[in-house]
């Protein structure tokens, strides 16, 4: 999941860099991810949508469904036999819970 999230972030950064790249830029596309300026700001909620593996701007029901689906897949109790996997699952569930709470709050404020 972490590798998939990194690839999603890389794709978003490359898309953003392509839009902001001057026409005569010497950078090849593969290096755009590494060369983006720090002042470039993405949608602050996009990482939470990526954690839940749903498109940006999804409705409340979709967010809840995706959260439940991911929690069933990565719940620490399912990985209790292997301590390393359990630790990774605990971190993923923390990220999923934070994503769900943040998106739910953002949607309810709209």
- In the predicted model, is pLDDT for residue 26 greater than 80? no
Q: Which two tokens stand for residue 106?
A: 């953002």
Closest alpha carbon to 53 in 1, 105, 106, 107: 1
State how far the Cα of 50 lies from the Cα of 75, in Å rounded to an integer: 18
Predicted TM-score (pTM) above 0.75: no
**CATH (residue range 43-110):** 1.10.287.110
pLDDT in tens, 30-63: 444 444 443 344 567 888 888 888 988 889 999 9
pLDDT at res. 35: 45
Q: Any idea which of 11-15, 57-61, 70-74 has the lowest mean pLDDT?
A: 11-15
pLDDT at res. 94: 93
Burial degree of 59 (CB within 10 A; 0-12, 13-18, 19+)? exposed
* Inter-residue contact 40 to 21 (CB < 8 Å): no
pLDDT at res. 108: 87
* Inter-residue contact 17 to 35 (CB < 8 Å): yes
State how far the Cα of 70 lies from the Cα of 47, in Å rounded to an integer: 15
């Amino acid at each position: 999941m972490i590798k998939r999230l990194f690839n999603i972030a890389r794709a978003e950064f490359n898309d953003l860099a392509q839009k902001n790249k001057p026409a005569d830029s010497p950078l090849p596309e593969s290096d755009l991810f590494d060369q983006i300026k720090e002042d470039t700001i993405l949608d602050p909620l996009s990482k939470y949508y990526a954690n839940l593996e749903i498109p940006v701007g999804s409705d409340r029901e979709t967010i809840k469904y995706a959260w439940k689906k991911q929690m069933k897949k990565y719940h620490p109790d399912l990985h209790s036999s292997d301590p390393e996997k359990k630790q990774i699952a605990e971190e993923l569930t923390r990220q999923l819970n934070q994503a769900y709470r943040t998106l739910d709050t953002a949607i309810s404020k709209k």
